[in-house]
Chain A
């Protein structure tokens, strides 16, 4: 029964990604050319609601469905991994026009060449796992 909840949340997310065009390669290209407010408005409005909601959760110690406090784990403090890793991610995001959520949305929408992107993303993750200890973090 619990599995259904995750499927429903995922389906909702997939529909939003498709209908908002965050899954469109063209929108990513347009964003990096600063030619539309669309993607900035999308992320900006998600953040306005996100920041207010998360602060509300923290101040009021809101509990989740299992009555456990909602905790968002802080990322470990560091600089190089976020900047360098982020740059690698951005290069791929602009080239493939899809980040790890939308690539699965596009697979569902029937753009089968996206499966090559997904295969690449799994391979890239594997390469990171192999090189992890030799990379600056």
Chain B
């Protein structure tokens, strides 16, 4: 059982992501996490500001439960199924990150510079997290889905729109890392 505590290799995890999609299809639902963000807007009263949020949120209750499960999964995996898991990054990546101020690269699961609680007292870090989140939320709804809905479900169904969206995800990601990161880090 020791292998469970180790990082899971991609060729095991990838098929398990597909299995998540098949389990949802089998219970008559679909795999798409960003829809929950719209439901959360409606629950916060956004239906009073735009028709886009006027829908019966109870029809999405199942997906909110999947989302809640993801929180539980994160808790269980980090506390009971890991022995202080640290991604085994490419040494070049680690060196590159350390040179740009990410000293936790190579010794943490997520960068302490952004995700340690002290980071919350730094206005620049707060802005990075908030703006990053806003771009994800805005972009996911604009594109009609995220990595789960488009890159996994949509491409599995051989849908051209999902391939275009996934190409967009990569164009945006490459622009951020190669053009914008040098300006902010």
Contacts and interface: CB of A to CB of B under 8 A. Distances in A.
B71 A85 contact: no
B158 to A, nearest CB: 7
A66 B173 CA distance: 40
B15 A45 contact: yes
A18 B135 contact: no
Interface string A15-52: 11111111111111111110111110111111111110
A82 B37 contact: no
A69 B120 CA distance: 48
Interface residues of A, number: 113
Q: Which of A36, A101, A103 has the most CB of B within 10 A?
A: A101
A15 B135 contact: no
Query: How big is the B interface, by class?
Result: 35 or more
Contacts of B57: none
Given A72-B30, A82-B144, A122-B44, A90 B173 contact: yes
Given A91-B180, A129-B49, A99 B142 contact: no
Contact of A27 (B70, B87, B92): B87
Contacts of B16: 12, 16, 20
Secondary structure at the B interface, as helix, strand, loop or mixed, is helix
Interface in B12-31: 13-30
B50 to A, nearest CB: 4
Interface in A47-96: 47-51, 53-54, 57, 64-66, 68, 70, 72-79, 81-96
Contacts of A68: 28
Contact of B134 (A57, A76, A92, A94): A92
Contacts of A128: 52, 137-138, 141-142
A45 B71 contact: no
Interface of A: 2-3, 5-33, 35-39, 41-51, 53-54, 57, 64-66, 68, 70, 72-79, 81-101, 103-114, 116-130, 132, 135
Given A54-B156, A84-B143, A118-B133, 12 more contacts: A18-B77, A47-B155, A83-B165, A89-B138, A92-B137, A93-B147, A93-B172, A94-B174, A96-B133, A113-B125, A120-B130, A125-B37
Interface of B: 7-8, 10-11, 13-30, 33-34, 36-38, 40-41, 44, 46, 49-50, 52-53, 62-63, 65-78, 81-82, 85, 87, 89-90, 92-93, 96-97, 105, 108-111, 114-117, 119-120, 125-126, 128-148, 150-162, 164-178, 180-181
28 contacts: A11-B70, A12-B23, A30-B87, A45-B14, A47-B151, A47-B155, A50-B21, A50-B156, A53-B156, A72-B156, A82-B150, A82-B164, A86-B171, A87-B171, A90-B174, A94-B174, A95-B131, A96-B136, A107-B74, A113-B114, A118-B133, A120-B130, A121-B134, A122-B133, A124-B141, A125-B137, A127-B137, A128-B137
